[in-house]
Structure 1
Amino acid sequence: MPPRARLAAVAALLFGAGAAALLALRAGGHDPVALTDPSDPARVAEGAPLYARHCAECHGAGLEGRAGWDTAPAPAPPHDATGHTWHHGDRMLFDYVKRGGAAVVADLGIAGFESGMPGFAGTLTDAEIGAVLAYIKSKWPPRLAAYQREVTAAEAD
């Protein structure tokens, strides 16, 4: 399978991971949607330095990601409008950051896709993960932010 087709297939599977992530997170008593609100200036302000400290080295200070992110194996993708982060709902994004890409991909039974995304459960609290996501989401254009809210709403169904 060509690298772009494999990435598209993985993205589609990750999109469907929202239900599993939702169940796991609700079982833990956390609803990431409440933690990732980009319209809350305090959450965004808290997330900016956390992103700079824990994420920018790989994903870029301007959320631009690394060159070649859309090839396999994929380096860190952008979190801006040029990437695919906004294609995923809050619950999946939260789970991916908290547990790491390898754990999420393994849960989905995807073979042959390696993720370099570490889990931050031992480094960031749930509130801090939510703040980082709020910061990232605050940088998206309104059209993409609206789409991402729809994806998040669909996760809950």
Structure 2
Amino acid sequence: MLPPRRHPALPDAGLLIGRIAVGVVFVAHGWQKLTDEGHAAVTRSFDHLGIPLPGLAAVYGTWVELLGGLALIAGVLVPLAGVLIALDMAGAFWYVHMGKGLFNQEGGYEYVMVLGAACLLLAFTGAGRFSLDAVLWGRRGREEVPARRSVNA
């Protein structure tokens, strides 16, 4: 016999909370790059770190974090936003944090690893029912599956 299912809205509520939390972090970082530092400063910083095509990487990092974060919060185009932000975090891991160990206080990769993994989780699961994706596109692939009967019954 299969165990009883959780309330059907709980996974979607969890996706909503996760999307908002991760989205706020990325909006803040994208906004910081755009306003506090400015494109030229981000480009110089990326060049100093040895990131290839630092000007293009600065534009990508700024806008994917800002717009991708907003997309996560709103729950629109979440699979695309999740993958693009995860690629951004992969670049941060590779070019900035990889050789510095795990812990963030030592410049390590724990923060970018968790954020990248969270974005892939959202990309692979989708936005959930409490999202613009659900309103615009429906809940494709998330229909309830009927419980199986036991062969011995």
Please say whether Structure 1 and Structure 2 have the same fold, judged by a TM-score greater than 0.5.
no
Higher share of residues assigned helix: 2
Report the TM-score, using the length of structure 2 for normalisation. 0.30
Q: Which protein, 1 or 2, shows the higher relative CO under an 8 Å CA cutoff with sep ≥ 6? A: 1
Report the TM-score, using the length of structure 1 for normalisation. 0.29
The structure with the larger Rg is 2
